[in-house]
């Protein structure tokens, strides 16, 4: 029926279009060169001479069945004659395959699947250059690993959802599964009558399809690549909100809905209330209307993260389903940042799409940067500027590895595609963009982005296209500085040395930052926008000076001899820095209080990096960082904790000195906890609530504070309420809920473990399940460690929860050896249960180790698995390198650490 309808419409179009076109040559009449029949199967990009121009896709989806079926018709343009056509298909059974040349007779094709998700259509004769249509009828199995077209069960009901990015559309239907191929789509879904069916665009028709099914037709999409196609089918709750009102850049109201599993729609009130304000911030910045005909936000059971599908954005339930009164600040803030990130993608990535995965940073780095900017406009109290910097500093920790990617990394294999979704692409990319925004000026930067969007609307664009737009807006070529950050890996280091002899000056020297044990090359250089801030004697306001550090060494004249100097003003630059010893002492003793929160975080990171590089010993590093402990900002106050954690790892096997370190940790942070107390106080600053959670957790884990652990466990017992019917979320500050659950779990008895497990199996709410699973993962009682680890193979755990027991037990030194032994013994059972990308990240769980022997063991254990999971080899290499770097730093710093602790 579907095929006849498409053919009839095509015939009608041909008859009404005026004079008949000239007859097309039949396959036997083809002249000119033909693509050789022995062309190798593509493992990266498909051949460029076949381009799709339109899809008509019909899928029959019944979430209660193990398989789905469908038919796809793809209009294509061929630039060369071909007896075979490469496209993508993986794990599909194709029962009918035809290629219909424009004006010619259908050719029956043979469909075969090759490596790396490629598929080949072999034809009995060559198809001439020009237009053609590919028609395929197929079936496939639903995925059970939350990728492609997959099934999940929630509260006994079955649902089907999609996650096509990056290369999983090919498992749902045959297609040209590359981002450059943006085409309009006509989609129809055949689903059980009575079930909800959501797609990228609005529903425009519905009719019976027999056998208790209905056929739902959707409006033609704007041009979209395959990775943005989305469906949701099942007994879903649909929350119809008032349309988002028209704006200065959007003339019409925007249809807006929330979608959740059956019975959960009532929990979407917070997300429905606040999403329009975030969208307004984005439209205001871009000056371009939201580009699609509706906005559905969809809460998906057992999903990790979120996905920016055009018009049908999917989210982990935890991000959308909660009551404001019981949600932690982190949960509400996560909603804001992730919602802003995914909605920013409607412009970055959806409206303008990268042609290939080497430019995925154009999607993810911009959405990261823009997401924080939008949240800052909506909720300044969320401290978005500081929060973004903490993520950027985390990326710097990865960027110092030899095995780190560059932002714009060549992509030749599927492994490269999966590796591109990492902290370098998201957080480093976002940090670099923020740096260049400040260097160019915010309005010039914005003008360049708006020009880029307007020029490439509904099309594709590369890094060169973006840099060209920035250069046009700036009135000068900005490509050289940009490209030094895009096209090479590594963390730049700016070494600053003050001289007050003669004319005061600052000498800036750049190079690649290398931690102890690194084998990275040192002959790298960047063009770095560097801004310094410094105080002159007798001046109330600090001075600021900015330079483009485009040479290995550059001398900057100062207006006087500074009382203190900060080498990264407002921490706007993507670089770590160091100061000559005297200037560092002045900054620590005289300038620290004058720094803003971002600068204090940059200071903390610079001190830790100097320690990791061997430029500061333990005493100098602790002396520099400990003054931050009393800071009212939670990110600044907790910055010294990273140094304590490093020291704790270096002291593995020396319980005596670990005890000394614990007492030092208590001495530093117990006064903070005493001031804050264990429970939130009415009217207290939000930063107090956030500091309380982090300080209490640190005192339990590193400070070995038995009083703090006991108090937290008691709060956990009251909250979990195992003798009652349900959790009592009102007895503890929501920001402490996860921590006190872990504290209770540490003391759990076998009977309490059983009660927690029974509660977990019956619970639907993501946040509550997280508390229960954290408690179940934490027991120290004999015999319960193995039961906790066994949860990884328990059907009661969702796919996205599988690593929680391992992550918790691998993070504590006393449970790490047992967890590692268990993981090695069960690795072949664990990996098949996991979502593909999460399986690749398993080696990262081992980075708490700190010896070359453990590094070798980790490599040997994971090597056979890494080669079989997407992105596995690079993730393993990064984990092994991290362990080796820790071992090198330990060897260098351990004598000084022992001396500092009195050992």
* CA atoms of 334 and 766, how far apart (whole Å): 14
* CA atoms of 808 and 818, how far apart (whole Å): 12
766-776 and 804-811 helices, crossing angle to 10°: 50
* CA atoms of 633 and 600, how far apart (whole Å): 10
Mean pLDDT (whole number) for 298-326: 97
pLDDT tens for each residue of 371-407: 999 999 999 999 999 999 999 999 999 999 999 999 9
The pLDDT of residue 714 is 97
Which secondary-structure segment (H or E) carries 127? strand 118-127
Number of Cβ atoms within 10 Å of the Cβ of 450: 16
pLDDT tens for each residue of 100-144: 999 999 999 999 999 889 999 999 999 999 999 999 999 999 999
Strand partners, 532: 545
Q: In whole angstroms, how far apart are CA 691 and each of 57, 601, 679, 696?
A: 52, 15, 12, 8
**CB-based contact 331:318 (threshold 8 Å):** yes
By annotation, the residues acting in catalysis are 342
Residue 81 has pLDDT above 50, yes or no: yes
* CA atoms of 514 and 522, how far apart (whole Å): 8
pLDDT tens for each residue of 55-75: 999 999 999 999 999 999 999
Question: What strands, in cross-sheet order, belong to the sheet with 306-307?
Answer: 237-244, 254-260, 295-300, 312-316, 306-307
Q: Using 50, 70 and 90 to split pLDDT, how confident is the model at 708? A: very high
Residue 21 has pLDDT above 60, yes or no: no
The pLDDT of residue 101 is 97
Residue where the block lists tokens 């930067």: 445
Q: Which of 38-42, 189-193, 425-429 has the lowest mean pLDDT?
A: 38-42
Taking alpha carbons only, the member of 743, 773, 774 closest to residue 761 is: 773
Q: Give the pairing of strands 254-260 and 237-244.
A: antiparallel
Q: Using 50, 70 and 90 to split pLDDT, how confident is the model at 38? A: confident
The pLDDT of residue 18 is 38
Compute the half-sphere exposure of residue 807: CA atoms within 13 Å on the CB side of its CA. Answer: 15
The pLDDT of residue 471 is 97
Residue 522 has pLDDT above 90, yes or no: no
Q: Using 50, 70 and 90 to split pLDDT, how confident is the model at 837? A: confident
Q: Using 50, 70 and 90 to split pLDDT, how confident is the model at 33? A: confident
Residue where the block lists tokens 């209009």: 75
**CB-based contact 65:106 (threshold 8 Å):** no
**E strand segments, 178-334:** 185-192, 196-198, 203-210, 213-218, 232-234, 237-244, 254-260, 295-300, 306-307, 312-316
The pLDDT of residue 32 is 55
pLDDT tens for each residue of 570-626: 999 999 999 999 999 999 999 999 999 999 999 999 999 999 999 999 999 999 999
Compute the half-sphere exposure of residue 439: CA atoms within 13 Å on the CB side of its CA. Answer: 25
Mean pLDDT (whole number) for 841-847: 97
Strand partners, 497: 507
* CA atoms of 276 and 649, how far apart (whole Å): 46
pLDDT tens for each residue of 664-699: 999 999 999 999 999 999 999 999 999 999 999 999
442-455 and 463-474 helices, crossing angle to 10°: 130
Strand partners, 77: 51, 131
Long-range contacts of 559-563 (CB under 8 A, 24+ apart): 559/504, 560/504, 560/536, 561/498, 561/500, 561/504, 561/536, 561/537, 562/498, 562/504, 562/534, 562/535, 562/536, 562/586, 563/534, 563/535, 563/536, 563/537, 563/590, 563/591
pLDDT tens for each residue of 136-176: 999 999 999 999 999 999 999 999 999 999 999 999 999 99
pLDDT tens for each residue of 279-301: 999 999 999 999 999 999 999 99
Q: Is 280 helix (H, G, I), strand (E, B) or coil?
A: helix
Mean pLDDT (whole number) for 514-529: 95
Mean pLDDT (whole number) for 843-859: 98
Residue 809 has pLDDT above 70, yes or no: yes
| Whole-structure pTM value | 0.95
The pLDDT of residue 681 is 92
Residue 825 has pLDDT above 60, yes or no: yes
Residue 12 has pLDDT above 70, yes or no: no
The pLDDT of residue 836 is 84
* CA atoms of 349 and 346, how far apart (whole Å): 7
Q: Is 214 helix (H, G, I), strand (E, B) or coil?
A: strand
Mean pLDDT (whole number) for 308-332: 96
Residue 878 has pLDDT above 70, yes or no: yes
Taking alpha carbons only, the member of 791, 875, 775 closest to residue 829 is: 791
In terms of phi and psi (left: phi > 0; alpha: psi -120 to 50; beta: otherwise), the region of 383 is: left
Share the mean pLDDT of the chain.
95
Q: For residue 495, report the phi and psi dihedrals to the nearest 5 degrees.
A: -100, 125
Q: In whole angstroms, how far apart are CA 307 and each of 201, 296, 315, 350, 772?
A: 16, 12, 7, 11, 27
Q: For residue 489, report the phi and psi dihedrals to the nearest 5 degrees.
A: -85, 175
**E strand segments, 558-636:** 564-566, 576-579
- Measured over the CA atoms of residue 277, residue 279, residue 283 and residue 285, the dihedral's sign is positive
* CA atoms of 309 and 274, how far apart (whole Å): 20
Q: In whole angstroms, how far apart are CA 775 and each of 269, 316, 717, 784, 788?
A: 29, 21, 10, 12, 9
**CB-based contact 492:512 (threshold 8 Å):** yes
Mean pLDDT (whole number) for 466-473: 98
Mean pLDDT (whole number) for 511-522: 95
pLDDT tens for each residue of 195-219: 999 999 999 999 999 999 999 999 9
Residue 15 has pLDDT above 50, yes or no: no
Q: Using 50, 70 and 90 to split pLDDT, how confident is the model at 788? A: very high
**Straight-line distance from the first to the last Cα atom of the chain, in angstroms, rounded to the nearest whole number:** 82
Percent of the chain clearing pLDDT 70 (strictly above): 96
């Amino acid at each position: 029926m579907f095929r006849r309808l498409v053919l009839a419409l095509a015939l009608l179009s041909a008859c009404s279009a005026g004079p008949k076109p000239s007859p097309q040559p039949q396959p036997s009449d083809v002249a000119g060169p033909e693509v050789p029949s022995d062309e190798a199967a593509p493992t990266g990009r498909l051949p460029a001479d076949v381009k799709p121009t339109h899809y008509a896709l019909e899928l029959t989806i019944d979430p209660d069945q193990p398989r789905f079926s469908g038919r796809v018709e793809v209009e294509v343009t061929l630039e060369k004659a071909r007896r075979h056509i490469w496209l993508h298909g993986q794990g599909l059974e194709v029962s009918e395959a035809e290629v219909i040349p424009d004006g010619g007779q259908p050719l029956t094709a043979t469909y075969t699947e090759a490596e790396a998700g490629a598929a080949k259509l072999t034809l009995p004769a060559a198809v001439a250059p020009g237009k053609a249509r590919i028609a395929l009828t197929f079936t496939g199995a639903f995925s059970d690993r939350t990728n492609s077209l997959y099934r999940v069960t929630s509260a006994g009901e079955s649902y089907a959802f999609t996650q096509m990015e990056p290369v999983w559309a090919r498992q749902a239907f045959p297609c040209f599964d590359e981002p450059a191929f943006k085409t309009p789509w006509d989609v129809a879904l055949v689903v059980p009558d009575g079930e909800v069916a959501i797609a990228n665009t609005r529903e425009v028709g519905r009719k019976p399809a027999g056998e208790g099914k209905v056929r739902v037709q959707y409006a033609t999409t704007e041009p979209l690549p395959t990775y943005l196609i989305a469906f949701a089918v099942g007994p879903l709750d649909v929350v119809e909100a008032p349309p988002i009102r028209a704006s200065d850049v959007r003339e019409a109201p925007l249809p807006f809905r929330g979608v959740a599993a059956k019975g959960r729609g009532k929990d979407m009130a917070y997300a429905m209330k606040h999403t329009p304000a975030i969208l307004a911030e984005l439209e205001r910045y871009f000056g371009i209307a939201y580009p699609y005909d509706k906005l559905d936000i969809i809460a998906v059971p057992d999903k990790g993260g979120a996905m920016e599908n055009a018009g049908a954005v999917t989210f982990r339930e935890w991000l959308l389903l909660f009551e404001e009164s019981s949600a932690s600040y982190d949960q509400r803030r996560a909603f804001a940042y992730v919602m802003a990130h995914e909605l920013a993608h409607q412009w970055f990535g959806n409206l303008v799409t990268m042609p290939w995965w080497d430019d995925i940073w154009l999607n993810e780095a911009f959405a990261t940067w823009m997401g924080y900017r939008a949240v800052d406009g909506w909720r300044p109290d969320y401290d978005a500027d500081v929060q973004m910097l903490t993520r950027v500093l985390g990326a710097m920790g990865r960027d110092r590895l030899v095995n780190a990617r560059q932002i714009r990394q060549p992509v030749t294999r599927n492994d490269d595609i999966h590796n591109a979704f990492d902290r370098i692409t998201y957080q480093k990319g976002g940090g670099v963009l923020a740096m260049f925004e400040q260097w160019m000026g915010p309005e010039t930067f914005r003008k360049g982005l708006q020009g880029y969007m307007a020029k490439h609307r509904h099309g594709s664009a590369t890094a060169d296209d973006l840099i060209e737009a920035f250069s046009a807006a700036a009135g000068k070529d900005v490509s050289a500085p940009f490209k030094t950050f895009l096209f090479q890996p590594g963390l730049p280091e700016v070494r600053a040395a003050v001289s007050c002899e003669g004319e005061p000056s600052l000498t800036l020297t750049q190079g690649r930052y290398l931690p102890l044990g690194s084998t990275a090359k040192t002959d790298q250089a960047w063009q770095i926008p560097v801004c310094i801030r410094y105080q002159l004697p007798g001046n109330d306001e600090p001075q600021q000076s900015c330079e483009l550090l485009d040479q290995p060494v550059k001398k900057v004249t100062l207006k006087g001899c500074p009382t203190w100097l900060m080498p990264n003003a407002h921490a706007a630059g993507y670089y770590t820095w160091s100061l000559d010893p005297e200037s560092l002492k002045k900054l620590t003793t005289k300038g620290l209080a004058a720094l803003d929160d971002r600068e204090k975080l940059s200071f903390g990171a610079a001190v830790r990096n100097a320690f990791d590089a061997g430029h500061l010993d333990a005493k100098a590093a602790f002396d520099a960082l400990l003054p931050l402990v009393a800071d009212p900002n939670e990110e600044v106050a907790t910055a010294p904790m990273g140094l304590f954690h490093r020291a704790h790892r270096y002291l593995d096997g020396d319980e005596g000195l670990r005890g000394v370190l614990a007492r030092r940790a208590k001495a530093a942070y117990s006064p903070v906890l005493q001031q804050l107390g264990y429970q939130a106080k009415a009217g207290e600053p939000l930063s107090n609530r956030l500091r309380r959670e982090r300080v209490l957790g640190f005192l339990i884990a590193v400070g070995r504070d038995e009083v703090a652990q006991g108090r937290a466990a008691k709060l956990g017992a009251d909250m979990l309420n195992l003798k009652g019917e349900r959790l009592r979320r009102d007895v503890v500050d929501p920001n402490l809920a996860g921590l006190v659950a872990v504290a209770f779990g540490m003391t759990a008895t076998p009977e309490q473990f059983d009660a927690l497990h029974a509660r977990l199996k019956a619970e639907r709410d993501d946040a509550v399940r997280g508390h229960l699973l954290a408690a179940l993962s934490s027991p120290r009682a004999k015999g319960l460690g193995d039961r906790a680890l066994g949860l990884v193979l328990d059907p009661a755990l969702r796919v996205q929860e599988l690593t929680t027991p391992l992550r918790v037990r691998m993070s504590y030194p006393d449970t790490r050896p047992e967890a590692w032994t268990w993981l090695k013994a069960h690795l072949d059972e664990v990996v098949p249960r996991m979502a593909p990308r999460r399986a690749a990240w398993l080696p990262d769980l081992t980075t708490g180790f700190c010896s070359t022997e453990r590094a070798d063991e980790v490599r040997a254990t994971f090597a056979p698995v890494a080669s079989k999971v997407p992105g596995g080899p690079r993730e393993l290499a990064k984990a092994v390198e991290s362990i080796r770097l820790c071992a090198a730093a330990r060897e260098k710093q351990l004598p000084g650490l022992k001396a500092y602790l009195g050992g």
